[in-house]
A and B are shown apart, each in its own frame.
Chain A
Amino acid sequence: MDIDDILAEVDVDATPRETRDLQELTRAWVAERVAPEMMAWPGGLMERVLGRVGRQIELVEDQTGNMDPKTNFRLIVVQTEVERFKFLVRSFLRARLRKIDTHPLHILAKHTESDASHPLLSPAEYQYLTSHQALLAAHYGASFLSQFPNNLQRMDDTTGGISMVDKPDEDAAVLVRVLRDVGEVAVEGTDKKLDMKRGDVWVVRWSAVRGWVGSGDLEII
């Protein structure tokens, strides 16, 4: 164990929960916007963040009308903070929705595969995806698909060599920063071996590093 590791451990425990949540939320937000694939739904984190935003809004509502300049100033600080949190959450959710809308069937399949304790989508997102797909299918059906021959009516056809289910480009390049040593990383299809050390920044294929991003050893920047 070298001095960096010791420092890292001290760091994590010393920061309060709130600060860590903000950091996690920011990380999740950046990752969701950059990574080509959908990330798992951070259920616990979202619950804490939303709870806190709700409490802050209540506090603001309670204190409004208090004309004491000191509390007034504090309220402005609180409100600015709430606005920023709201922006992060909003942008995060919209980024996820955009992915859901672009690759619905692919994500649905992944979601069904994923672990029930760490689902890919939140229940609300799952509901949105399924109802949206039902809507689209009904729309296509009513507009033209119902008049097609039966064997051409499917939306997830894979015959003829081309799958109708669109997939994100899993080999897209991402910028990652190494948070914990992960050792050697092999990039599939090449004979490159990368030695990832804490603090390094790499440009790599998403498919090569996604496991470590999920476990928090790497962060996307």
Chain B
Amino acid sequence: MYGEIGNKLVQHAKRTQSLAHLPPYQTELVRAVTREVRDLDKDVATILEPFAGSFDPSTEPATACALLVNHLCMRRDKRCLLAYHRTRTDKLEEMCWSGIDVLERQQQLSQKGGGDGAGAQMGTDGAGSSLSPEEEEYVRQYSDLLASYKGQWTDIDLTGSLEPPKDLFIDVRVLKDAGEIQTEYGAITLTKNSQFFVRQGDVERLIQQGYLQRLS
């Protein structure tokens, strides 16, 4: 009671910030905090009931104090919930920007979890996904939003590297077979373990996706 569960959520959020992946959504905790807020609100209503709308804090300091505590706790719970969800959505947005397909990865995880029993018990719980259904919906819509905003800057490629470009051409090594790509100097077939000297703009995406490694 009184904000304790909210605190747990915030601790989860804090931990999430330093993790590379997204830990499972704390459905139980979120539900508990929401329930607490509703209970507190009911309390407030019961306390205020006998006064029938003519409550004067100066004549009843004790009741006023109780009300204040309840009120502050509700606000605090709300803040905790907002902070928790915001941290997670920030993380999801970051993934959208860096070109990671969050939903696909979730599916892979849950499939892997279903395949061998040991994996399912490990990190992911019954649902197999660390996102809540609402979050999945959010990711889907945010990717659409991002795509539509990006679509207005066709020449710029907003998700490109934020490092200042030094060389037009770079050395890359192929880590995974990536098939054939078209460049202005003809087509190159990227087979594993081969090395190329190519235009940075042509392979930017592939480096981000982990197919190629840049050699300095």
Task: Collect the chain A residues with CB atoms within 8 Å of residue B168's CB.
Answer: 76, 79-80, 83
Q: Roughly how many angstroms separate A40 CA and B167 CA in the complex, as a whole number?
A: 32
Task: Report if B13 contacts A (CB, 8 A).
Answer: no
Task: Report if B174 contacts A (CB, 8 A).
Answer: no
B122 CB, nearest partner CB in chain A, Å: 25
For A130-162 the 0/1 string (1 means CB < 8 A from B) is 011001101110111101110010000000100
Contact check, B38 vs A147: say whether CB atoms are below 8 A apart: yes
Task: Report if B104 contacts A (CB, 8 A).
Answer: no
Q: Tell me which of A57, A94, A127 contacts B158 (CB under 8 A).
A: A94
Task: Collect the chain B residues with CB atoms within 8 Å of residue A64's CB.
Answer: 184
Q: Roughly how many angstroms separate A54 CA and B153 CA in the complex, as a whole number?
A: 11
Contact check, A139 vs B74: say whether CB atoms are below 8 A apart: no
Task: Report if A39 contacts B (CB, 8 A).
Answer: no
Contact check, A135 vs B145: say whether CB atoms are below 8 A apart: yes
Q: Roughly how many angstroms separate A136 CA and B72 CA in the complex, as a whole number?
A: 24
Q: Tell me which of B72, B134, B157, B201 contacts A139 (CB under 8 A).
A: B134
Task: Collect the chain A residues with CB atoms within 8 Å of residue B75's CB.
Answer: 152, 160
Task: Report if B160 contacts A (CB, 8 A).
Answer: yes
Residues of B within 8 A of A (CB): 30, 33-34, 37-38, 41, 71-72, 74-75, 78, 81-82, 85-86, 89-90, 93, 132, 134-135, 137-138, 141-142, 145, 149, 152-153, 155-158, 160-162, 164-165, 168, 184, 199-201
Task: Report if A84 contacts B (CB, 8 A).
Answer: yes
25 contacts between A and B (CB under 8 A): A64-B184, A86-B156, A87-B162, A93-B158, A131-B145, A132-B145, A135-B142, A138-B138, A139-B89, A139-B134, A139-B135, A139-B138, A140-B82, A142-B134, A142-B137, A143-B134, A144-B33, A144-B81, A147-B34, A147-B38, A149-B37, A149-B38, A152-B75, A160-B71, A160-B72
